[in-house]
Structure 1
Amino acid sequence: MARQFDGIEPPHRAFIEAQHMFFVGSAAPEGRVNISPKGMDSLRVLGPDRIIWLNLTGSGNETAGHLHQADRMTLMWCSFTTRPLILRAYGTARALHPRDADWAGLIGLFPPHPGARQIYDMRVGMVQTSCGYAVPFFDHAGPRDTLAKWAEGKGPKGIHAHWEEKNQTTIDGAPTGILDPQA
């Protein structure tokens, strides 16, 4: 039932852009594998082999730490509506921080999000689709505003303090580079 493709084809892009949520998977050579749900209008398909997504400040910063050690990334979307489908994009990625030169050219592709901390720039090497027959139906009730309200309440200084306290290392103790590009 699974099919592989060399890149993102127009029907894949349409499917990706119609989804309200996606999942990111990353892993360092050693330690825990991270799988994290994402949303909030934070992903853009830039071409058949390129996806960028905006990472917002949260409780952890696993993906950034993993990319410091291994540049592998997998993104996954599931259809929770009438058409059963799972789509995965496999590739390599790099983390861009607000201090990086490429940040300015990409951040404008997203609506303003308080607490934006990285843009992940992914080169897609393979796309795989599979049936999704066992994925249940869910209705989308709307986006949550909890993270945006939290970040707005913290303000830029509070977000920076949160990065210092909670986002400098992974749960396995690896550096994320959030504040120190040499980490």
Structure 2
Amino acid sequence: MAKQFSEILPEHKSFIERQHLFFVASAPMLANGHVNISPKGYDSFKLLSSTEAAYLDLTGSGNETSAHITENGRITLMFISFDQKPLILRLYGKGEVILPDTERWDEYVAQFDPLPGARQIIYTKIHLVQTSCGFGIPYYTYEGDRDTLHKFALNKGQDGLEEYRQLKNSTTLDGLQTPLGKLQ
């Protein structure tokens, strides 16, 4: 049975810190808009307090979350146990996009190890933590992080990444403009 909490408890923090993968969900206000669910890896997630979290968002093929939370703030982060006691943990909150070359970027980026291709930080003010059983989740074994995204970013270089972001990350599937698109 699901249990709800107003903040991240120490046992939640411990569980989150053991995970190698998390998922981000967001949606536009459009009734027929696309719901986005993105898997995230690497050491890109940080708990900042019992009601705050952030992740270093890397350049990828889309940028739905950024536009959705700029439009309406809604974001859900989900962690799943694949190799221990079954558990699903969701963090519901209000998100904010923090871009490079801002004061807040300097404040938050210091929380993370440098990762190639970092394009923004997604900050979340958490208003609800929910756990559920996870009994239907299969066992999987973590073997390591892929280096493909890192190689992509390094091969593109900073100018190539900027060009790619303007081409692939400035609007959503529904035509919403992302904060990166507003930089044009």
For the pair 1:128 / 2:133, whether they are aligned, the reply is no
The code of the aligned residue for 2:90 comes to: R
Alpha-carbon deviation of 1:180? Answer: 2.2
Paired with 2:155 and 2:181, the residues of 1 have a C-alpha distance of 21
The code of the aligned residue for 2:60 comes to: G
TM-score, with length taken from structure 1:
0.97
The code of the aligned residue for 1:37 comes to: P
SS in 1 for 2:182: coil
> Could you list the runs of 4 or more consecutive aligned residues of structure 1 that deviate by over 3 angstroms after TM superposition?
none
Match of 2:20 in 1: 20
SS in 2 for 1:102: helix
Paired with 1:148 and 1:179, the residues of 2 have a C-alpha distance of 23
Paired with 2:110 and 2:156, the residues of 1 have a C-alpha distance of 22
Alpha-carbon deviation of 1:177? Answer: 1.3
SS in 2 for 1:174: coil
TM-score, with length taken from structure 2:
0.96
Q: Sequence identity of aligned pairs in percent?
A: 47
**Which whole-Å deviations, capped at 9, do the CAs of 1:50-85 have from their partners, x for residues lacking one?**
001010000000001111211010000000012000
The code of the aligned residue for 1:76 comes to: M
User: Gaps spanning 5+ residues in structure 1: where?
Assistant: none
Alpha-carbon deviation of 1:108? Answer: 1.6
User: Gaps spanning 5+ residues in structure 2: where?
Assistant: none
Match of 1:74 in 2: 76
How many residues are aligned here?
182
User: What is the aligned-residue RMSD (CA, Å)?
Assistant: 1.0
Q: Which of residues 46, 49, 53 in structure 1 aligns to 2:48?
A: 46
Paired with 2:58 and 2:5, the residues of 1 have a C-alpha distance of 30
**Which whole-Å deviations, capped at 9, do the CAs of 1:108-132 have from their partners, x for residues lacking one?**
2111111101101100001000000
